[in-house]
């Protein structure tokens, strides 16, 4: 799964600009996280049409776009499930860049994880990995 991170100066309307550009490109947002960090806004997205989304946000002015791979895992919804996965990465010396809960219900959680070494990380979580379709 590809993840888009968009960094902009902190100003009114940043999220509106991004979401309207994606809507105009017929891109569905599967998850969004927006946070103000000092003078900047960081918006992290997972979308259904990665290439179309990338094209759409590149048209926006004064925004920096960063792309990275995210691994999607399915964990039992119970105390310590995420800690066990985090421990695997720590023991292997793999840095966690981001963790996002994509879906949660009473039985399981779907979690998107970005690391500094995706190929190595995939091998560590093969038992809980959710197979992904190729992005458009």
Distance between CA atoms of residues 27 and 37, nearest Å = 26
Distance between CA atoms of residues 67 and 74, nearest Å = 22
The pTM for the full model equals: 0.71
**Does residue 133 form part of some domain?**
no
Residue 32 CB coordination number (10 Å): 16
Query: Can you give the residue range of the structural domain that contains 50?
Result: 2-68
Q: Does residue 40 share a domain with residue 13?
A: yes
Q: Does residue 104 share a domain with residue 51?
A: no
Residues 105-119 pLDDT 10s: 889 999 989 999 999
Q: Does residue 8 share a domain with residue 55?
A: yes
Pairing of strands 63-69, 2-9: antiparallel
CATH number at residue 15: 3.30.2130.10
Q: Does residue 36 share a domain with residue 22?
A: yes
Residues 3-27 pLDDT 10s: 899 999 999 999 999 999 999 999 9
- The total domain count for the chain is 2
Pairing of strands 63-69, 40-47: unpaired
């Amino acid at each position: 799964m590809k993840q888009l991170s968009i960094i902009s100066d902190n100003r009114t309307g940043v999220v509106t600009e991004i979401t309207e550009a994606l809507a105009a490109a017929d891109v569905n947002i599967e998850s969004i996280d927006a946070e103000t960090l000092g003078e900047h806004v960081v918006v992290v997205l997972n979308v259904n049409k990665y290439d179309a989304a990338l094209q759409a946000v590149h048209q926006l002015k004064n925004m920096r776009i960063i792309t990275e791979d995210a691994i999607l895992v399915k964990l039992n919804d119970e105390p310590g499930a995420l800690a066990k996965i985090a421990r695997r990465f720590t023991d292997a010396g793999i840095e966690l860049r981001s963790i996002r809960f994509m879906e949660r219900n009473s039985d399981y959680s779907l979690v998107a994880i970005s690391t500094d070494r995706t190929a190595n990380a995939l091998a560590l979580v093969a038992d809980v990995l959710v197979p992904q379709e190729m992005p458009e």
